[in-house]
Structure 1
Amino acid sequence: MPDSNADGATEQMTSRSVLDTILDTALHEMNRERSGLLLSGLSAGLDIGFGPLMMAVVLTLSPGGFGDLTTELLLASVYSIGFMFVILGRSELFTEHTTLAVIPVLDGQASLRDLGRLWGLVYVGNLVGGLLFTLLVILLMPELGVVTPAAFETIASKLVTHDLPWLFVGGVFAGWLMGLLAWLITAAQETTSRLILVLVVTGTIGLLHLPHSIAGNVEVLFGLFMSPSITLLDYVGFLALATVGNAVGGSVFVALLKYGHVVRGAN
């Protein structure tokens, strides 16, 4: 009969190794120069824009729309493209660090000031990168011929037409999923496994139309520039509540809980 204690110890060692890897990675990022963090965040903000762009292309070319199962699944799949570029390319994404960068603070190896510095630089880089991507697509769009302004408006409206409490709660779920993805990516050993994880987790966010502050930044910016029905107030309200919700979801439901159970189990 197998020894259940031995099995538990093996499982716990695996969890502890994941936590140790996250700690090392997060501390390394916290100690990077400001310019490096800002540029990495800028790169992530640019790259993640390909997801919303491909969503608009699918909506333009597909005979279906939101509510049609085939179209919804296809939209969720292409939504993941930007995340694949960012996560496998090792650029800095704010919603990953709502979990990764919190764990060294919980462990006493970093301060809240260190956390604020990392969050601030990555977040600003992500938003500026998303803005630059949006402007570049607007310049290219007339020559692309595969996407219409109406598609961008439809995507943005899907995020900004909800009540404010929904934006926050939806943001919590999106942050929870992104924090879980950061943990699972660290545990995964192969690029193929990581690719599948990104597709499944971010595809879930896309299928549920949850407000992700960085990808959603691009989605709503497209609507803001392309449609008079999307206002600056819509954009600011979305961004504020999605950001706070993402931070709560990643920090509380992943960083705090997983750190707590691994540390207590290891002891």
Structure 2
Amino acid sequence: MVFHAPATIIAKVGTAGKGKCALPAWNMLLRGFMAGAYIAMGAALATVCSTGVADYLGSGMAKFVLGAVFPVGLIIIVLTGAELFTGDAMFAPMAAFIHRISWGSVLRLWLWVYIGNLIGSIVFAYFVAYGPYTSWSATGTATVTAFGMTAVNIAAGKTSYIGLAATWSCFLKAICCNWLVNLAILLGICADDAVGKILGIWFPIMAFVASGFEHCVANMFFIPAGLFTAPYLSADQMAAIGAKLNNLSWVSMWTNNIIVVTIGNIIGGMIFVGVIYYYSFKKEIEGSN
């Protein structure tokens, strides 16, 4: 297993970021769509696999199971070359630092990839809401499954950040999330072989999900999946979820979560990984050029 030195990894990030910023808009959008769908695949798997675990093994193990299977999305993204906004929060600024590309190019990449991630996540959320999250009778009557209940609970919880203290908590969770996500990407770049990349990615992603941190692209799946499923809840199921279901809407998806999480994710990736690592290894990078 080949292991690259830290300065080499940072230089690779800058070079990759420059290439990403040079893509045409349609390609950014297409790769962003794929990445949004791949993150949604991992999130859907995590929703299904964690259902019912807390009842038998406790809430901590339920969180671990959630985190253990979620990384499949980022593994697919890294190995297939899709574009994830939260990763580009590090890649693009690093390219600006090392190769001195314009910040306009950085913002252009962020915009198109973000839109692509959003579309891909929502499309896959629709697929699973009418797939494993609901069961349909011959007459077309829907029943929300146990997996659908988990999905709605997750979505309702993610739109329950109401008030200054709760919003601050959401913001800090978002910083922590993308700090770990981009460390996962750095560890993936450390290795040249697929097994090394997978192992490097898995541990930090498992840690962020199991810890309950907030990822804007994952939430572009989690919240719409709950929104698509919620109309089919029975009265008993709505009572089981409780008052937090009142916070779940397409508006609160943005105001109570994604806007704040996006800002926190940018800071976590750009500042806590990109800026810190660039200045930590600046002399080594410049000396090798």
Instruction: State whether TM-score is above 0.5.
Output: yes
Partner of 1:189: 192
Q: Deviations over 1:112-155 (max 9, x none)?
A: 10000111111110011001111111232345997532111122
Matched, 1:117 2:108: yes
Q: Secondary structure at the match of 1:185?
A: helix
Match of 1:134 in 2: 125
* Segment of structure 1 superposing worse, 224-233 or 187-196: 224-233
Match of 1:24 in 2: 15
* Per-residue Cα deviation, 1:36-58 (whole angstroms, up to 9, x for no partner): 11100000111111122112212
- Unmatched runs of 5 consecutive residues or more in structure 2: 137-143, 231-244
Determine if the alignment matches structure 1 residue 154 to structure 2 residue 157.
no
Q: CA RMSD in A?
A: 2.3
CA distance in 2, matches of 1:153, 1:78: 19
- Is 1:246 the counterpart of 2:265? The answer is yes
Q: Out of 103, 110, 121, which is 2:94 matched to?
A: 103
Does structure 2 retain, via aligned residues, the 8 Å contact 1:60–1:146?
Answer: no
Give the distance between the partners of 2:269 and 2:92, measured in 1 at CA.
Answer: 10
CA distance in 2, matches of 1:153, 1:185: 33
Kindly state the Cα deviation for residue 62 of structure 1 after the two structures are TM-superposed.
Answer: 3.6
User: For the Cα contact (< 8 Å) 2:187–2:201, is it kept in 1?
Assistant: no
Q: Deviations over 1:4-30 (max 9, x none)?
A: xxxxxxx9x933322222222111111
Structure 1 residue 49 corresponds to structure 2 residue 43: no
Which secondary structure state, in structure 2, belongs to the residue aligned with residue 214 of structure 1? helix
**Alignment-derived partner of residue 263 in structure 1:** 282
1:64 to 1:55, Cα distance in 2 relative to 1, 3 A = farther
Question: Once the 2 structures are TM-superposed, how far is the Cα of residue 242 of structure 1 from its aligned partner?
Answer: 0.6
Question: Which residue type is aligned with residue 262 of structure 1?
Answer: F
Deviations 1:208-260 (A, max 9, x none): 11110001211111122223531223311211011000001111111101000
Greater alpha carbon shift after TM alignment, 173-182 vs 143-152: 143-152
TM, length-normalised to structure 1: 0.87
Query: Gapped runs of 5+ residues in structure 1?
Result: 1-10
Paired residue type of 1:236 = W
State the identity %: 20
Number of residue pairs aligned between Structure 1 and Structure 2: 256
Please report the TM-score for the alignment, with normalisation by the length of structure 2: 0.81
